[in-house]
Structure formats: C-alpha cells, structure tokens
C-alpha cells in the first residue's frame, strides 16, 4: 500500500477527531501536532509541512467547522482538500503539439527509472493509437542503448539510435527528422543520467532542449530518495525548466516525502507515477485520488479504470451466459482468478477500496498464497472433474490434495464453496427470471 506508515499515522490522528460531537481548539491543535509529526517523519519538506498545517488550522478552527454537527469529519475533509492542493489539485496531462511530432525529453539521474519510464510512456501512448518513437541519446553507458532497444521491443515501439559515436544533440535532431519522415507523431528522447548532477550533463540537456524544443521535459525521480528527489527536481527545474515530474517506485516503501513536497517546492506537477518494474505499470497521477488513498478513503475511480483495462469484455459476456445457464465450471473460476491477478497485487487493489484502511488491511491478512493453493487444487483436477465436480469421489479428493500439495480438508472446502456459489447463482437467475415474468404479465 502506498505510503503505508504515513497513511496509518494520519488516519490515527484524524480518527480521534472523527467520532466526536464537539471539538475545542485544543483538540484540533493536538491532532494537528500529530499530523505534523507524521508528515515530517514521512520526509515531507519542512516548509511545506509548516504551510500545510497553518492552512488546515486556519480553515479548521473557523466557526463554520467547529459549530457544525460533525466537526471531526469536516476537518478530515479539509485535510483531504489541502493534501490534494499540495499535490497539484488535478491531473496534469502531457502537452501535445498541434503540429506533430510532439517531442518529450526525459531526464533524471542514473537509476531513477528513466529508460524504463520512457518505455512505459511509449506503451501508454501506443495504446492510445499514437505512433511513438523512442530515441537513444545516452551514449556514455555502454549498455544504455541496448537497454532501450530491449524495452522498445517489449512494447513494440521502434527505437532510433546512432550508436555512441555521435553527440546527443545531433542524435536528437536526426531522430526528430526521422520521426517526421516515418509518421511518428511522438518522439520520446531518453537521455544520459549521472550519479550526481553535474555541469556537463546540464549543458548537454540544454543543448538538446534548444535544438528540438520539447513540448514536455519530464524529470524522472525515484520516490524512495525522499527529499533528495526534491532537491534534484529543484536543480533540474532551475537549469532546464522542466514541465513535469514522473515519480517512480511508488510500489516500494517510499515514505511519501517526495510526492507531497515536489509540487509545492518546484511548482511543477507530477504527471505520472511508476507503480512497478513491468512496462504497463505507469499511471497518470491524480492528486485527489492519491490524497483519498493516503487518508484511507479509497480510490474507486482508479480501481474501475484498472478493471476496465484488464477485463476482457468478450470473456465477461461469455461468463454471464455460463452463469445464467448454470454452466459455470472450475475452468471459468481459474479464468476469474487470472483476471483478478491482472489488476495487480491484492493488497494494492484492496487499498483502493474505501473504508479499508491500512490497519484493517493488515488484519484482513490478505494472503496471495491462498489463491495459489486454490489454483493448484483446480489444476490437479482432470478436465472432466473441472466441468462436473460432482464426480470427484473420496479417493480422487485424496489424489487431488496430494497432487496440489494441500490437504483433503482444503479440497473439500473448495468443492463446497463452489457448490454453494453455483446454488447462489441459480437463485439469482431464478429470481431475475421470475421478476421479468411479473414485469411482462403483471
Ligand atoms: P535509468 O538509469 O534512469 O534509465 O533507470 P532504469 O530505467 O534503468 O531503472 C533503474 C531500475 O529501477 C530498474 O531496475 C527498473 O526496473 C527499476 N524501476 C523503474 N521504475 C520502477 C518502478 O516504478 N517501480 C519499481 N519497483 N522499479 C522501477
């Protein structure tokens, strides 16, 4: 779950206010002290925290809030709004050029995730029916060009390279010309990183910028580096004038400092966040949704979007038919589990559901291993047994348990659950049928 510790502490601090009828200024101050500590411990920039707390307090102790029927909840709402403001209010999209190609310059320190993000971005744009071109401008690290080519191949996007003998400014210029000739409407330039910011790197990026005038200059920073990421962003911004930030590795145990400070310090928006190493794990950044997630209020919109992307409409229709005609089998069940896994790690998915806060998530004890065991049981059944589990007798149950490395009890439990689910499905369809009949004749 993103920013788990911060999330837990904020929910604790605000939870104390929520249930109460009347609040005094002292109550608010004491909760705000806790909020302040939580933010500082999450490595949020000191000045940002100070302004944030002042803004919340100013709004919270007004008579409108204090004299309302639910002052605690009003304060949670204020904190939510101010957290959203801190991260930039609303989603900030890419700038597309009215006359293609659009040029996106990727920059950042080594290891931040530039090359991976360039590939992820190309993947997103390709799926929006664009024709991106990736450009290899890192001529210093021997493996860099190859790495981009591998990424390009994986997402099926062409990569422009001129080896490591030309200078990056010339490569960028030639790439744009190449893109124009080949109908590429978006040129994504991957540049060299360094371990630290140095003059040479900045000069080179400035050179590329003035040659190809990018529509977007995206700085890629590693969220795990906290305030260092913010300092890097400040420097790149003052030298280069970045247009946005991509925050990577939010799937790790970043504390939240970078996400909550970068916008306020640089006045440049976070445009995307990296949620994993895989090339489809880049998401547009929505400050309001992130604020809700941090406060344990869920993120239903992102969940729906994920589901829409990963569920296969054709399969869903077939499944509905099967449910209606009671032909739902263990094979369909396996399919369902597979689709669910496509949504991402279970705790990340559950973390998007409102009302499930980080503490409850721990208590729920989501055990992905459980799903693996269920899958193993089903996979140990024969094709006939999956279609008609009623034929599974006691000796077969033993074999299935052995084959799947589980116990007979577990096999029995799964079979029972399956029978009951089917019964329930039948009741639903019967009910639906009888209601339809009534509608027709009544
Ligand atoms: P570059 O030097 O800036 O081009 O960085 P790379 O693209 O080579 O990435 C450095 C490492 O970070 C690689 O191992 C990537 O797989 C990993 N990485 C990049 N983005 C993410 C992310 O969002 N989450 C995780 N967990 N790893 C990432």
1.20.120.140, 3.90.1640.10, 2.102.10.10, 1.10.10.10: CATH of 4-86: 1.20.120.140
Sequence ranges of the binding site for GTP: 108-115, 190-194, 248-251
CB of 184 sitting under 6 A from ligand 1: no
Out of 14-18, 67-71, 321-325, the most confident range is 14-18
Residue 441: pLDDT band (50, 70, 90) is very low
Radius of gyration of the chain (CA): 27
For the chain, the average pLDDT equals 88
What is the interface pTM, i.e. ipTM, of the complex?
A: 0.99
Length, in residues, of the chain: 442
Residue 362: pLDDT band (50, 70, 90) is low
CB of 357 sitting under 6 A from ligand 1: no
Q: Is pLDDT at 347 greater than 90 in this prediction? A: no
Domains 4-86 and 309-441 share a fold: no
Stretch 312-336: mean pLDDT: 79
**Domain layout of the chain by residue ranges:** 4-86, 102-297, 309-441
CB of 119 sitting under 6 A from ligand 1: no
Q: Which ligand 1 atom is nearest residue 110's CA?
A: 2
Stretch 188-207: mean pLDDT: 91
Out of 19-28, 153-162, 317-326, the most confident range is 153-162
Dump pLDDT digits (tens) for 153-185. 999 999 999 999 999 999 999 999 999 999 999
**pTM recorded for the entire structure:** 0.76
CB of 248 sitting under 6 A from ligand 1: yes
**Ligand 1 atom 9: residue of nearest CA:** 113
CATH topology of domain 309-441: 434 Repressor (Amino-terminal Domain) (1.10.260)
Return the CATH number of the domain spanning residue range 102-297.
3.40.50.300
Residue 442: pLDDT band (50, 70, 90) is very low
Dump pLDDT digits (tens) for 274-295. 999 999 999 999 999 899 888 8
């Amino acid at each position: 779950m993103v920013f788990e510790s911060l999330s837990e502490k904020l929910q604790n601090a605000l939870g104390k206010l929520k249930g109460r009828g009347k609040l005094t200024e002292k109550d608010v101050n004491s909760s705000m002290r806790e909020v302040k500590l939580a933010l500082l411990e999450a490595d949020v920039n000191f000045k940002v925290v100070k302004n944030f707390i002042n803004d919340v307090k100013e709004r919270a102790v007004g008579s409108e809030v204090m004299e309302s029927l639910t002052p605690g909840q009003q304060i949670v709402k204020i904190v939510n709004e101010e957290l959203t403001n801190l991260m930039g209010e609303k989603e900030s999209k890419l700038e597309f050029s009215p006359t293609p190609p659009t040029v996106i310059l990727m920059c950042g320190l080594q290891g931040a995730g530039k090359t991976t993000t360039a590939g992820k971005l190309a993947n997103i744009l390709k799926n929006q029916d664009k024709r991106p071109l990736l450009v290899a401008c890192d001529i210093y690290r021997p493996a860099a060009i190859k790495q981009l080519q591998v990424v390009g191949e994986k997402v099926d996007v062409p990569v422009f390279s001129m080896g490591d003998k030309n200078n990056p400014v010339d490569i960028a210029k030639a790439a744009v010309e190449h893109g124009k000739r080949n109908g590429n409407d978006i040129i994504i330039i991957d540049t060299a990183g360094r371990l630290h910011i140095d003059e040479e790197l900045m000069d080179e990026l400035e050179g590329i910028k003035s040659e190809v005038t990018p529509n977007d200059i995206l700085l890629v920073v590693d969220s795990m580096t906290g305030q260092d990421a913010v300092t890097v962003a400040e420097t790149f911004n003052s030298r280069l004038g970045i247009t946005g930030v991509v925050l990577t590795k939010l799937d790790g145990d970043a504390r939240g400092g970078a996400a909550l400070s970068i916008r306020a310090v640089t006045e440049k928006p976070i445009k995307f966040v990296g949620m994993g190493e895989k090339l489809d794990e880049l998401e547009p950044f929505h400050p309001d949704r992130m604020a809700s997630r941090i406060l344990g209020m869920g993120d239903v919109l992102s969940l729906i979007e994920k589901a829409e992307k990963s569920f296969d409409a054709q399969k869903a229709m077939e499944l509905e038919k099967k449910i209606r005609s009671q032909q739902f089998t263990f094979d369909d069940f396996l399919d369902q589990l597979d689709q669910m896994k496509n949504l991402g790690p279970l705790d990340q998915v559950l973390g998007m559901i409102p009302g499930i806060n980080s503490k409850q998530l721990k208590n729920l004890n989501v055990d992905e291993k459980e799903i693996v065991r269920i899958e193993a049981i089903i996979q140990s059944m024969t094709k006939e047994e999956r279609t008609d589990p009623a034929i599974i007798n006691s000796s077969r149950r033993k074999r299935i348990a052995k084959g799947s490395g589980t116990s007979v009890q577990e096999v029995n439990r799964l079979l029972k659950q399956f029978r009951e689910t089917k019964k329930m499905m039948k009741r639903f369809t019967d009910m639906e049928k009888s209601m339809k009949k009534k509608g027709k004749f009544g």
